[in-house]
Amino acid sequence: MLTVTNLLKAYDGHPVLTIPDLTFPPGIHYFRGSNGSGKTTFLRVVAGLLPFSGRIQLAQTYDIRQQPVDYRLRVNYAEAEPRYPDFLTARDLATFVANAKRAPAGQVNQLADLLGVSAFWTQPTRTFSSGMLKKLSLLLAWLGHPSLVLLDEPLTTLDVETAGRLFDFIQERVRQGVSVWLTSHQDITLTGLPLTASWQVSNGTISPIDHDPAV
């Protein structure tokens, strides 16, 4: 599904993440680790938001550098703490991202209904609560035809009803072949999501958690 080779991510010359060689099979992957362990950095690197050295390849075909457009068409990302220009509405942002990600007709409305974004569709984001911002970021992360969706702390600030609908939707999309990577400080087993693998992010690297009861 996704292969990471010789990845080195450094801030101001100090390495924060070193991954010699890792292959992630399709499915739902859960990344755990303490604050500042590098979970968000890793997801942001995979999303193409942060510079790094090394190689990332999706489905043995789409290299993040060699096929940057094709790669970004297939890898979507939802931030842990989303922030948007306060004068823009959910409609402005969703329309913009949907066009860029080549979303099929009707997808935006479907996701807006699913995540409850329709209720504040034309309000500027400065009036949003953190939960509303989270819903909008989750909506943007599912636009287009992603093969891999990176959800950084999707449970934070999300209300229980919306979280339930999101988990059902994730399961449905995973059955259709989409992979989902999650980070969370909450107990992920409560979501009922069938995890493919769990990963520990610590000491500047990522390693599989064998015999994780959540899997």
Partner 1 sequence: MTRLFNRLFIQPFYEQNAGSLLVVTLLAFGFMRPMDHEALITAALGSPLLLGLVFLLWGLYTLKAITFIIARLNDPTHLFLTAFRLVSRANRWLVWSAVLIGLLLPVLGYAGWMLARAVHYDQWFALNGIIGFLIGLVVVGVSVVDYRLRHPAPDRFRLPRPAFRLPYLLFFPTYWLRHEPLSLLLTKGCSGLLLIGVCRLYPTDEYDERLLLIGLLLSVLFQASVPRQLSQFEGRYLPLLDNLPYSVNRRFGQYMVLYGLLWLPELGLLMRNRPDAVSIGYIALLWLTGWGWLGLLHAFTYGRDVDPNRWLAILFAGFILGLLTIMAGLPVVVWGLLGWGVALVYTQLRSLPLNVTS
The single-letter DSSP state of residue 191 is G
Minimum CB distance to partner 1, residue 215 (Å)? 28
Helix spans in the chain (H): 39-46, 68-74, 90-100, 107-115, 130-141, 160-175
Q: Which of 61/189 has CB closer to partner 1?
A: 61
Nearer to partner 1, 127 or 186 (CB): 127
Minimum CB distance to partner 1, residue 8 (Å) = 6
Is residue 142 classed exposed, middle or buried when 0-12, 13-18 and 19+ CB atoms within 10 A define those classes? buried
Rule CB under 8 A: which residues touch partner 1?
8-10, 47-53, 65, 68-73, 75-77, 79, 83-85, 87-89, 91-92, 95-97, 100-102, 124, 126, 140
Which two three-digit tokens encode residue 53? 């050295």
Nearer to partner 1, 51 or 106 (CB): 51
Minimum distance of partner 1 from residue 39's CB (angstroms): 16
Residues with Cβ within 8 Å of 129's Cβ and at least 6 positions away in sequence, in order, are 157
| Closer CB to partner 1, 9 or 39, in the complex | 9
Nearer to partner 1, 67 or 171 (CB): 67
Residue type, 157: T
The number of residues in the chain equals 215
In the complex, minimum distance from the CB of residue 2 to partner 1, in angstroms, rounded to a whole number: 15
Least distance (Å) from partner 1 to the CB of residue 97? Answer: 7
Rounded Cα gap, residues 117 and 90, in angstroms: 8
